[in-house]
A and B are shown apart, each in its own frame.
Chain A
């Protein structure tokens, strides 16, 4: 693959990764807001804004029409884009600590993807850009970890619901 083609392929992955992260956080925020878990909804909204900023930065490095058009299953990740929060990892009664832990795992996963891309490519420009994105994700992770350190542990009764969802009959 030529240097330029490799760079375009990398940027196609970066756009998809950041766009999926942004969309997923927006989706989770809307779902949590609908279930009146406002603290977690606001946190996911802030994560969506972060992802949107990173997406804008990635888009600046690439013009959409120059990127290879890949089907969702043709990207170099086994299931989902690495920064997308798993659906089953959220719950209507989750607390802020659990939301932060989820986001932290996503940042680390995205960072690992960029770092691996940087290490695997022979193209110098691609490696440089991928490594810089990996550093940004590491910085996001560091900030999340700092916030996490300030939070109390999750209560053992966090998922107990005074009005449980199950049918009372």
Chain B
């Protein structure tokens, strides 16, 4: 019998080119650890991403991967899972890719509930294009020369939007605790349906103030909520720095299982007879 694979076996030989201090290293480690803990087959696991710093992650893993079009990781991943339900499909990206460019796909992925996992590495900034405000940037963040007085727009609330559009499994992790991300990710992968893992992943190059997250982030002690109204109240009132599995209300994934067998060619020919 072969020895179980270790986390390092799930990493490719390509070395990340993220900035030193980037939280995405932590997510990469967590992905490798979760894959090893679940003993996932590298041949039957696919990581799909969009564009951005975080979307480089599939290249750094030793499984199948697709580095797709900006904001379209979810569209590719859902198509793949529906065509090949036997595969484990994980989608990854950043806050700009997922909530702005791919925002519409995010809404409908939550609503549709295909059995995939979506990890958003949220650093509240567009890092790859040198530090512009993103959908989750604080309203008064004035470090970019493009928005010298801050973006002036209230930040997007990922968990609240995911809940409102029907996501049945919503969790939040923090890059300062990769083992917690690995645990949440292993639960997310095992959940039958769409699972949304929002990770606070610091960008210390453009947002050095995010090193303060370590002192603010804390694990939510209560059980995950199962009532959508209670979860909505939490997601609108919270600071956004509570981690753990926040909401879990399973429902049947899409596509529904029909008992009806596909029609044979003869049946179709019969139906089309004029």
Contact = CB atoms under 8 A, between A and B. Distances in A.
Interface in A38-77: 65, 69, 71-73, 75
Contact of A169 (B16, B146, B175, B204): B146
A123 to B, nearest CB: 26
Interface string A6-41: 000000000000000001000110111011010000
Contacts of B202: 87-88
A124 B194 CA distance: 49
Contacts of B213: 88
A168 interface: yes
| Chain A CB within 10 A, most for which of B20, B129, B210 | B20
A140 interface: no
Contact of A167 (B4, B22, B132): B132
Contacts of B211: 88
Q: Contact residue range for chain B? A: 35 or more
B8 A87 contact: no
B183 A73 contact: yes
Given A167-B132, A167-B144, A73 B22 contact: no
A155 to B, nearest CB: 17
A169 B183 CA distance: 41
Contacts of B235: none
| Most chain B Cβ neighbours within 10 Å, of A31, A89, A94 | A31
A23 B177 contact: no
B4 to A, nearest CB: 7
B59 to A, nearest CB: 15
B143 interface: yes
Q: Which of B3, B178, B202 has the most CB of A within 10 A?
A: B178
Interface string B103-146: 00000000000000000000000000111100000000001111
Contact of A88 (B4, B130, B182, B214): B214
B21 interface: yes
B182 A32 contact: no
B176 A86 contact: yes
A1 interface: no
A31 B16 contact: yes
B15 interface: yes
B33 interface: yes
A88 B19 contact: no
A28 B22 CA distance: 11
Given A88-B211, A166-B130, A31 B19 contact: yes
Given A92-B205, A168-B145, 18 more contacts: A31-B19, A34-B15, A34-B17, A71-B182, A72-B178, A79-B177, A79-B179, A86-B176, A87-B23, A87-B25, A88-B202, A88-B211, A165-B130, A166-B131, A166-B144, A166-B145, A167-B130, A167-B144
Interface of A: 23, 27-28, 30-32, 34-35, 37, 65, 69, 71-73, 75, 79-80, 86-92, 94, 165-169
Chain A to chain B: the 7 pairs with minimum beta-carbon distance, closest first: A167-B130, A73-B183, A31-B20, A79-B177, A72-B179, A72-B33, A90-B20
5 contacts: A79-B179, A86-B214, A87-B21, A87-B25, A94-B20
